[in-house]
Chain A
């Protein structure tokens, strides 16, 4: 936490007035929490717990037991439990742009529900599986290998929720007529959710390119996913930046064009 907290006040002090007066402050705060979250997320899963890159599903039992006993898994768990609430913020940040599109609200609701279901099964539960193993070293190896499998399969093999979420995102971008996000991003997102489908074989095989640490199911999916995440992020940044002031929810009534009316006409 200290990293960003220490960073924030400096620009704030310099442009104290302009910073506070930014009309899109809520969106910017949400937006800048995203890299913070993803860095933590990466930190938790890679250098701290070494859960990622995934260990082999075919590891020998002593190896698995050894890994499940590493204390760092617990520290990773703590950081994740503190930070996983930021995942909804990043999703909400993306949802704001989908909300501006000319598509039905059903798209953003689908994304929202996907985000809700995905957070536990794809993030918290797997991490807890590893944490539980490290928490009580007394468990026998059968329990530990089960937790190991459960953790990896839930983390890598959780498919449907993210699939629907990114499908709705892709479709919204492609069908949108307001040009909020570039069309090619929609097509890129289709690959992203098809790679989610490609992860299905991890439930079947324990070695080779389709295992959960395999060339096809993991590494190839990652080479598509990581740039995608960064590109989405940059596109969202530009979308927030380019949103005209008159279109904001807090725009003064005289600035607000008539078309915004129908959007905000929801009852109490």
Chain B
């Protein structure tokens, strides 16, 4: 029983992250993030002026939408190694990944759709843009539960030699708290909680980036020490 497969999947994460970073940096909608206070006409004008950039990133985003799934899948495998009474946490984790990724894809669709025919009625372009932001920023519920599942599996693990250091679990709980404010972006059009505000946008994306980096490191370590351990999965 070797862990080569897990390691291969893990190492698909760095290029994926690089592509996400590229998408983030060249996406006109994010530099600076579009304000929720713009009127439909202003939004439509913005999309008309940035068709290439938005459409290009929408296509790229569509292609790499599921690029981090292997990382999450390896996490699921490691969760299932924890000595708990069942694989309930693994299953919840996997379902959460599927749901969360779908939300991201919908956001990507909406931006792409808005840029595909920029001469559309401004009301509709604005609606697509709002919907994209809703799906991009707000649905933090699944990643919160995901990280809680992971943390729980570390806390409840009964094996004498823990798979993960305990602080990784603490860190996951911390990300849950840091991600939560994004959900409130639905309520505000300005201020720190608006979708372009420091709490909803900057904090959320930074937390997510740090989280991916930390998990990548933690998983590499866990897989390295897994050795011949059998995995109770499925």
Contact = CB atoms under 8 A, between A and B. Distances in A.
Max chain A C-beta neighbours (<10 A), residue from B40, B95, B98, B102? B95
A132 B86 contact: no
Contacts of A83: 141
A26 B152 contact: yes
Contact of A24 (B77, B86, B139): B86
Given A75-B187, A249-B84, A89 B99 contact: no
Interface in B118-148: 123-124, 126-127, 130-131, 134-135, 138-146
A26 B85 contact: yes
B187 A78 contact: yes
Given A25-B156, A96-B88, A265-B230, 15 more contacts: A78-B184, A82-B141, A83-B141, A85-B145, A88-B92, A92-B89, A95-B88, A96-B91, A124-B99, A124-B139, A125-B106, A135-B186, A138-B39, A143-B124, A250-B84
Contacts of A132: 127, 130-131, 134
Contacts of A181: none
Nearest to B5: A268
Contacts of A120: 99, 102-103, 106
A74 B187 CA distance: 6
A131 interface: yes
Given A81-B140, A85-B141, A136-B130, A24 B106 contact: no
Interface string A111-141: 0110111011000110010011001101110
Given A112-B91, A140-B123, A143-B123, A268 B2 contact: yes
Contact of B98 (A95, A116, A124, A131): A116
A122 to B, nearest CB: 11
A95 B87 CA distance: 9
Given A86-B145, A105-B234, A267-B231, A99 B99 contact: no
14 contacts: A23-B85, A77-B186, A78-B187, A81-B138, A88-B95, A88-B99, A89-B149, A96-B86, A117-B98, A128-B134, A128-B135, A136-B130, A143-B123, A265-B230
A225 interface: no
A268 B233 CA distance: 9
Contacts of B134: 128, 131-132, 135
B232 interface: yes
Contacts of A26: 84-86, 88-89, 152-153, 156
B94 interface: yes
Contact of B131 (A115, A128, A249): A128
A159 B161 CA distance: 46
Given A268-B1, A268-B3, A99 B86 contact: yes
Interface string A251-268: 000000000000011111
Give the bracket for the number of chain A residues in contact with chain B: 35 or more
A248 B85 contact: yes
B146 A249 contact: no
Interface of A: 23-27, 29-30, 74-75, 77-78, 80-89, 91-93, 95-96, 99, 105, 112-113, 115-117, 119-120, 124-125, 128, 131-132, 135-136, 138-140, 142-143, 147, 248-250, 264-268
Contacts of B230: 264-265, 268
B127 A27 contact: no
A25 B92 contact: no
A171 B6 CA distance: 34
A124 B88 contact: no
A85 B140 CA distance: 8
Contacts of A84: 99, 139, 141-142
A233 to B, nearest CB: 15
A138 B99 contact: no
Contacts of B83: 249-250
Contact of B87 (A86, A99, A142): A99
A268 B39 contact: no
Contacts of B187: 74-75, 78
Nearest to A28: B85
A26 B152 CA distance: 8
Contacts of A250: 83-85, 158
Max chain A C-beta neighbours (<10 A), residue from B123, B141, B146? B141
Contact of A267 (B1, B87, B183, B186): B1
A32 B144 CA distance: 17
Contacts of A74: 186-187
B143 A85 contact: yes
A85 B85 contact: no
